[in-house]
């Protein structure tokens, strides 16, 4: 599939997002994985998304991770659709991040149907007593790339004040180590 075909497919899925979230997650995952974005006019995946995909980088990242987990755990679209219908998209996404292998759909639904999505999640530093603080400068181009990657993983930048940078960096490192 080329870039133009990918854009048409992804934009069509986004326009019907309420019923196609699992498919969008899988297609975004394969689009990122299977196209060499550095060789395109966009220069990289983030550049492509900024121009062609009308979703925030954070939303795109969540879809990518969900698509990756659906693929990793070998769930069919029908199985994921059944989960979404029973417990909703948000609980399905969250549940996929909490398992470490494929489980039957009925077990998955039972396990995650009562998850409170409004509960605040925080990074527990008490288990990481050996935290190391970094302070460094980067060339503007490198900083732009790093900022894009961190924002795609949940960092917020409002009037020059960055929030959630540590958690975003942790996710970036986790992604790099997983490759």
**Residue 58 domain-assigned (yes or no):** no
Mean pLDDT, range 49-76, rounded to an integer: 93
Provide the pLDDT for residue 131.
67
**Residue 14 domain-assigned (yes or no):** no
Q: Which residue has the higher pLDDT, 28 or 157?
A: 28
**Residue 106 domain-assigned (yes or no):** no
**Residue 37 domain-assigned (yes or no):** no
DSSP H or E segment with residue 51: helix 45-52
**Residue 75 domain-assigned (yes or no):** no
pLDDT tens string 65-93: 999 999 999 999 999 988 988 888 888 98
Share of the chain above pLDDT 70, in %: 86
Q: Which parts of 57-100 fold into alpha helices (H)? A: 57-72, 77-87, 89-98
Q: Which residue has the tokens 């292998």?
A: 101
CA atoms of 142 and 48, how far apart (whole Å): 18
Q: How many helices (H) and strands (E) does the chain have?
A: 9, 2
CA atoms of 114 and 74, how far apart (whole Å): 24
**Residue 73 domain-assigned (yes or no):** no
Q: Determine the structural domain holding residue 138 and report its residue range.
A: 130-179
For 28-44, the DSSP string reads HHHHHHHS-GGGSTT-S
Provide the pLDDT for residue 148.
79
Provide the pLDDT for residue 18.
53
Give me the number of domains the chain comprises. Answer: 1
**Residue 150 domain-assigned (yes or no):** yes
Q: How far is CA 119 from CA 36, 110, 116, 167, in A?
A: 39, 19, 6, 17
CA atoms of 10 and 133, how far apart (whole Å): 39
**Residue 64 domain-assigned (yes or no):** no
Q: Which residue has the tokens 């080329």?
A: 2
Share of the chain above pLDDT 90, in %: 36
Provide the pLDDT for residue 130.
66
pLDDT tens string 104-138: 999 999 988 887 776 544 444 555 556 677 777 88
Q: Mean pLDDT in the chain? A: 83
How many beta carbons lie within 10 A of that of residue 120, not counting itself?
Answer: 5
């Amino acid at each position: 599939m080329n870039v133009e075909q990918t854009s048409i497919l992804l934009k069509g899925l986004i326009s019907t997002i309420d019923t196609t979230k699992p498919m969008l997650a899988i297609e975004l995952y394969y689009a990122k994985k299977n196209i060499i974005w550095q060789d395109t006019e966009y220069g990289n995946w983030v550049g492509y998304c900024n121009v062609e995909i009308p979703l925030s980088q954070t939303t795109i990242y969540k879809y990518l991770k969900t698509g990756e987990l659906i693929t990793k755990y070998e769930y069919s679209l029908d199985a994921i659709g059944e989960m979404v219908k029973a417990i909703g998209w948000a609980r399905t996404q969250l549940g996929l991040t909490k398992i470490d292998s494929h489980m039957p759909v009925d077990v998955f639904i039972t396990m995650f149907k009562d998850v409170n999505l409004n509960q605040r999640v925080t990074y527990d530093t008490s288990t990481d007593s050996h935290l190391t603080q970094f302070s460094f400068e980067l060339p503007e181009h490198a900083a732009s790339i790093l900022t894009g990657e961190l924002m795609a993983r949940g960092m917020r930048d409002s009037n020059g004040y960055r929030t959630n940078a540590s958690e975003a960096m942790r996710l970036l490192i986790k992604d790099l180590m997983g490759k």
